[in-house]
Each structure stands twice: as structure tokens, then as C-alpha cells.
A and B are shown apart, each in its own frame.
Chain A
Amino acid sequence: MADFDRDSMSEMFTFEMAQLIEQLEQNIIQSESGYSTAQINEIFRIVHTIKGSAAMMMYDSISTAAHSMEDLFYYLREESPRNVDYHKLTDLLLAGMDFIKEELSKVENGVAADGDGSSIIASIKRFLEVIKGGTPEAGQSVPDSSGNEETSRTAPKYKAVVFFEEGSEMENIRAYNLVHNLENAVSDITHIPEDILDEDSVIPIRKSGFTIRFESDRPVAEIENIINQTIYLKSFTLKEIDDGEEEPLRTVRIRVRFSPESEMENIRAYALVVRLRENFEEVVCQPEDLVCEAAVDLVRVNGLELTISTVKPFDDIRNILESTPYVREVAIEEDLTEADSPIAADEPLKQETDTEAEPTLSAQSAAQPPKIEPPAAKKPDDSAVKKSSAPAVISVNVSKLDQLLNLMGELVISEAMVTQNPELENLELESFHKEARQLRKIIKDLQETVMSMRMVPLSTTFFKMHRIVRDMCRQLEKDVLLEVIGEETEVDKNIIEHISDPLMHIIRNSVDHGIEMPDVRRSLGKNEKGTVTLEAKNSGGDVLIIIKDDGAGLDRDRILQKAKSNGLLKKSESEYTDKEIQQFIFLPGFSTNEKVTSYSGRGVGMDVVSTNLEAVGGSVLVDSIPGEGSVFTLKIPLTLAIIDGMTVKMGGAKYTIPIVSIKQSFKADSKDIFTDPDGNEMISIRGEIYNVVRLYELFGADTAVKDIGDGILIMLENGDQAICMLADELVGEQQVVVKSIPKFFKKTRGISGCTLLGNGEISLIIDVAGLFDK
């Protein structure tokens, strides 16, 4: 472990763990009403992997907790007892999982994972005892969690060769897990390759399988079972070896030649010998002294002569030789072993050659027969195995993605600065513009790719809500079904982080305040089981997340009362529209629930929703019908960083409007405008009346263009509303990189950020949604 890059290992570990826990959570939540065999197997597999990985990283608190869960599931899987209280089971599992999560977050933060899981483990054990108590024949096949029974000296010896699925990656770690899993049942484990913590051991494992020898007095079926649980297992053979019939030490002499262009043959030879010595019992080389200059010529002319004695299969040597750079030729000159197992250079050596006579337990477990095939059958393909079974997906550090995005932004700005450079004005530059267009096209493609890399589906966030709903139902004794639609909708990674909390608050609010108690629902003639629907969909440049419940809806009077007592009312009660009243719930400190539950009612929550969403340029709307339920609509931008914008001029300043918000722009005449008694200007377009907004008035700026006929009207839409905005003139359409206004400035209504134009000038980005709310 010492040479291990512990940091990257633990990063990998937490990453894998997070994924496993997510899967686990989904499985647990999905199976609360009853665990199917498939789900039990799946959960078993997950906790098993968690246990193994945690043990490997020496996080004992995690591995012991996972171990107890594993024991429980082992029993469930083997005995399929009928007397299981699934709710209790789910509670226990979730508690155990939360404990593991907690420990993981410690690991992530670089703190020692030293939590005490003993109470959880104890309650899991108790639960297991209860189930066992109910089934008389219980007990025999449950592995003793303490594990390390002394195996008698006369225990039979076994040899297992395990192959992992192609592309499973990190075979050495998988092998390590396997060894770890076997430790409880068997003793005296040795394996080839020996150093499986070394990443290079992946190659021999891929090629010739992972060979384990051990002693055990456990039934063969049990050992098979343990091996079978290995994830990414492709096939394995398990056979008993007679005591004493250890594989004999074999000696081969090999001549290695390096390709002529390799240079420094002696150094390459030296490195090879060192590597071989690490792996095999005895390695003698000729010339002996490889470090001196003279060795260069010797090796170049005569090649490097190696005499290797080992018990390991010959393929191991071959693997190392073949994976050494610049090795041109490997000739097996002599097999010095007296044993009757000839090794010829070109005949692929079967590992089983010398042990063919022994009983081969090509495990044919009834559970998964198609998976298991004798490795020998696969052997001939081995050399043909694609060397680059590279996975189609890699994980990348988010900070690199962020950096990429920043650079992308800089690139977009520089492109504009170059192609729209003022010095180019009035020049005849036909081919320049052509090339510039091509450049812009490439940059745009590049940008789309960069953005798409950052897009992640909402499914993870959505699935977390299952847990919340489930926990709340248990505690509040309500019955709620969470329906999820469109979870595959993708949004920018940065945005996802901001919507998890709002979503949680709204869901909590819906379950806690919205959905009534089952008996109330029954008396109202509703289905006892309430439904909360969580839906995501794309709409233009935005993503809409809709949370709909069929509960009681918002209580207009109560909200109004509360608003009144909090002094929030600015006009008389009767003047407020339902919509306005409903929006009150998003104000800080606003909760109409008299009693504080552990989930909501403390008055924090809904205001978090609006602040969090505003931070990413989103908004939230609520629509509620008393007695029928409420609908919360979160509108969030697809992406934050780069938008298509229309730049307009007004006075001396420039403003950029997101293209998605522009419906049309047109010239109008001042006589088309009419004014209401309050001085609000309006215009009629094709029978529809629109408000006219003079931006310079709103922003307190000045412009020479005050006559509607001199400027241009731009129709902006936000949801189902639209207004017409007056600007001096259109400057042009371009992609802009959104930069935030320094925090020093308070949030200005109507401005969502700023951007740099091609000439370095700053343009303020108009927050169209902000123009609409007064």
C-alpha cells in the first residue's frame, strides 16, 4: 500500500462509493413494498462491493457496517424467509446507508472515518436474529461474520483461475476484492500475480486470468459461491490440488532481442531484469553486468539471455516480456524443467497442461450457468483480445470542465475581438471574412461540445426525492406516491447543484402541507394515496421542473392572514389576486403551518427556493386550486455561461438581450401608441395589446431617441406574457459570455449580468424575466 497514490485512490474510492450508494438507495427505495429476488441479489452485490472496497482502503467503520448488511442479505438471498418486515428492513438499510454516507463524507473531507456503527450493526444483527428465529432451518449456511475460523492443517488445497469481463478495468482491484472476500472462508491464500496493488498487474490478469491458491475445509459450493459474487466475473475454474502436489518449479531460458532503434539496450535490459526479478523466484541474466557501457553492444548483438525459475505459469513471463517496450523478439531456447511439460515458443501454453488429470470443478452453479465457461475455451482468443478495450466513458474532474468552459468563454470573446476589430473597418477583406466565418463556425461547434459535456441528467437529483418522500411518509403516516417524468432531461452541472435544495423544499412542502392524511383524503372522496408528480421538460432555452401534488392546495385566507400579521400587505386584502397571494409563500420566514414538523413549518424553506433559483437566473411560480392541489413550476436556464444575444444600443450604452426571449423586433410609429390615464404606453399589434417599456426610463439613463418612430421596438416574451421594449437601434446578434456584475453592486432589477463585446466594451445583459415582475 505504501507506494500507492493514496490520494487518487481515495478519490476513485469515494467516486465509486457515491455511485454504489446511489444505486443502493434506488434499489432500497424501489423495493420497500417487497424485495424481489433480483433486487436482493443486486443489493447484496452492492453492499458486498462497498464492504470490499472499504476494507481495501482500510475504512473499517464502513466495511463493518456494510458487512452486517451483507450478512443480512446473504440470509435473505439464501433462505428467502417469509416473515420479513420490509419496512423495518428498509429503515435499517437506510440507517446503515446513512452511516456509510456520513463516513464517506469524512473520507472526502480528509478526516479520519472513525464513526461508531456498532449500534446500527447491532440492530441489523438483531433483525437478522428475528428473521432467523422464524425459520427453523435457519443458521447453517449463514457465514459467521467473525469469519476467521481456524482451518485445519489437513484442509484440502484449491487452485482457482478467475477471468474478469473485458473492459471491467482495474482488474487488480477486483482481484484484490476477491482475495479479500475469500479471506473469510479460506486460508493460506497465495495468488499470481503476487503484487495486485501494482497497477501493472492488470495486464497479466487480463491475459491469463487471476490465479489463487488456498486451503479450505469449506464445501466447494460455498467457495464457488464466494467467487461467483465477484463483480465483473467472466468465468472461473476451481479445482482441488492434492496436498503436496504444488506446481513444480520450472526453469526456462529465454533470449530477448530489442529492436534496433531502441538505443540503450543495456538499460532496457536492466529494467526488464529488475521487473522480472520482482515477479519470479529466480532470474539470471547474461551478460550479468548490464549497467556498464560494454553491455550495450553485447545485448545488441547477442540479445539478452534470461534464465528464469518459477512456479508461475509461463504466460506470466511472456506477458511481462511482451509488455516491455522495444522488445523485438522473444525466443524460448530451452526448457530446463525435468518435468514432462514441454514449453515451445510458439505454442500457447495452457495453464492446465500439467494438471489436466485433476478433477476440474468447472463451476456450473445453477444460478448463472451461461456466465461460466472454462477459461481454456477462451484461451485461443487471448492474443486477439483487443488491447484497447478502453471504456466509452471516463470521469473528469469538474474543475477541469469549469476551466474548459472559462477558456471557451475567453475564446468566444477573443474571436469577436479579432473578427470585429475596429482596425478592420473599411478594409476590403473578402477572404478574411470567409475564414472568419469558418472560425466562428468551428468555435460554435466546439462550444456546443463543451457545453454538452457539462450536461447531466436530472435523474440523480430526482431519485433523491424518492428517499425524502419515503422518509416523510413513514414519519407523517401519509401515503404518497412520487411519480417522476422526464428525469432524463439534462441541465448544466452547475445548475443541478442549485436546484437540489429548492426541489427538496418544494417536495417536502407538498408532502407535508399539501397531501392530506389518508383518512381526510378518504372523507374528501380522494384516493387515499396522494400523488406528487415531478416532471422535467425542455422549453426553449429553459428547463421547466414541475412539481404537482393532488393535496389540499394553498390556503388563500391563511396566507393572507399570515402576510398581514407579518406586515407584508401593501394594499387592501381584496385587491390581491390569487397569484399574488400565492407568491407570498416564497418570502423569508413565511410558513402557514402552525405546528413545526421535522420537515417544514419553520419558515425557512420556500424562500430558499426563490433565492437559490435566482442565483442561477431561474424563477419559481406557484399555481394552486384549493382542494385540488398545487403546481410549482421552476424555470431554470439550460446553461449559464454562454448565450446567444442580440445587442442593442440605447443612449451611449449597449445592452444584450437573450435571443430566446425575443419574439420579434419592428419599427412602429408614434401614432400607433396610446396611453392610459396612468401614463402607461401601449401598442396594438395584430389585435393584441402590449405594454411599451422605455428602457432608458427604467434604468435612469438618457438617450436622444425618445420618439417611438426613431427607435426600434423589440417584443420580449416571458412565459405567456410579452412586452415591447424601445431601443435606439439593433447592433447585432452574437454569442456572448455571461459575466456576473461584481458583488459590490446590489442586484439591479432588469440586469442579469454583463458581457464583453468584440471591441472590449461592456454590455449589460437584460434580465427579461426581471422586467416583467413589478
Chain B
Amino acid sequence: MAEQAETEAVGGVDTTKDRFMTFYIDTEEYGLEISAVKEIIEMVPITRIPDSPEYVKGIINLRGDIIGVLDVRKRFSKNPKAYDEQTCIIVVEYGEFTLGLIVDSVNEVMTIEEANISVPPNAKLNHYNQYIRNIGQVEHGVVLLLDLDKLLQQDGL
């Protein structure tokens, strides 16, 4: 992904700009900057690491590389839901880490123009508001754009 991003930069056209990968937790749609997303894989067996917070599910074998996986639903402190065939792991690159994010289902890659992006309300009423950086307005509603920094912040780790 890093290389890809580089070649794009060289080409002068940033095809990742304004593009977001969206996924669902319950009925809400969330978006991740496409530049951070490496790939999407199906659920695989997860090995739990003792002494880690509940939302950190453990480690998986991604073609020989060991990466950590987090349950986004648990991170948002939502009610647990059994993993099903819709459940996916979005592999993201975040700084020096490669991490997997478990989500209910992946929707699509969409473009949200900067003009259609607004900041979330100041009042932090919802518990998981802290992970939302912006809100994107799209035809069918809104997409909550995630702040990876906050999502992956290792408060408990």
C-alpha cells in the first residue's frame, strides 16, 4: 500500500483522496480513509493474547505475518454479536503497525467530497463519539468517518 501510495503521488493524481472504505456496525455506516486500508479478509481463527483488553481479540496469521486484531464493536462498547459470514477483518496500516479491525460487514468504497464533510457536534453525548473525526454526508444518509489514531490508541495496552 505504501508503495502504491507513492507511485500515485509521483503520478500527480491522488486517487485515494476523498475516498473512503465504509463498513457497518449494527445499522450505522462508518468510513475509513482508503489510504490506510490494506486489504479485507474473511474471519480467521484468532489466537488470544493473555492480559490484553477485551476489544483486542488477539493475533492472526496473515500469510505468515502475525498481526493483531481488534473488535471495533467491542471498542465502541456495543453489545456483542456472534461473528457470521458477513463479518470481515479490515487490515489497516497504522504507523509501524499492521492491524486487523473486525467489523460486522464491509459496504463499499465511496468518494465523499470535502464539501460534504462536516465536524461532529461538540457535545460528546455518545460514548463512541470520541473515535469519530468527521461526518460525511452522502445520498443515503451519513457516514461516520473514523479517527484511526483514537481508535487504535493503546489506552489499555
Contact = CB atoms under 8 A, between A and B. Distances in A.
Interface of A: 410, 413, 653, 698-701, 739-746, 748-751, 754, 756, 760-764
Nearest to B45: A761
A762 B50 contact: no
B66 interface: yes
Contacts of A754: 47, 59, 66
Interface string B56-73: 100111001011100000
Q: Which of B48, B67, B157 has the most CB of A within 10 A?
A: B48
A413 B47 contact: no
Given A746-B157, A756-B61, A760-B61, A739 B50 contact: no
15 contacts: A410-B64, A701-B50, A741-B59, A741-B66, A742-B67, A742-B98, A742-B99, A744-B99, A744-B152, A748-B51, A751-B50, A754-B59, A760-B61, A761-B45, A762-B60
Which 8 A-B residue pairings sit nearest by Cβ, starting from the closest? A699-B50, A762-B47, A744-B68, A742-B68, A748-B51, A744-B97, A739-B66, A746-B157
Contacts of B99: 742, 744
A739 B67 CA distance: 11
B52 interface: yes
Contacts of A748: 49-52
Nearest to B44: A760
Nearest to A696: B50
A413 to B, nearest CB: 7
Contacts, number: 67
B4 interface: no
B114 interface: no
What does DSSP make chain A's interface, helix, strand, loop or mixed? loop
A759 to B, nearest CB: 10
B154 interface: yes
Contact of B50 (A742, A744, A750, A763): A750
A764 B49 contact: yes
B96 interface: yes
Contacts of B60: 762
Contact of A742 (B48, B51, B64, B97): B97
Interface in B111-146: none
Contact of B51 (A410, A700, A762, A763): A700
Contacts of A750: 50
A762 B61 contact: yes
B11 to A, nearest CB: 30
Contacts of B47: 653, 754, 761-764
A743 B49 contact: no
B50 A698 contact: yes
A505 B47 CA distance: 39
Contacts of A698: 50
Nearest to A740: B66
A756 B68 contact: no
Q: Which of B47, B99, B152 has the most CB of A within 10 A?
A: B47
Contacts of B152: 744
Contacts of A763: 47
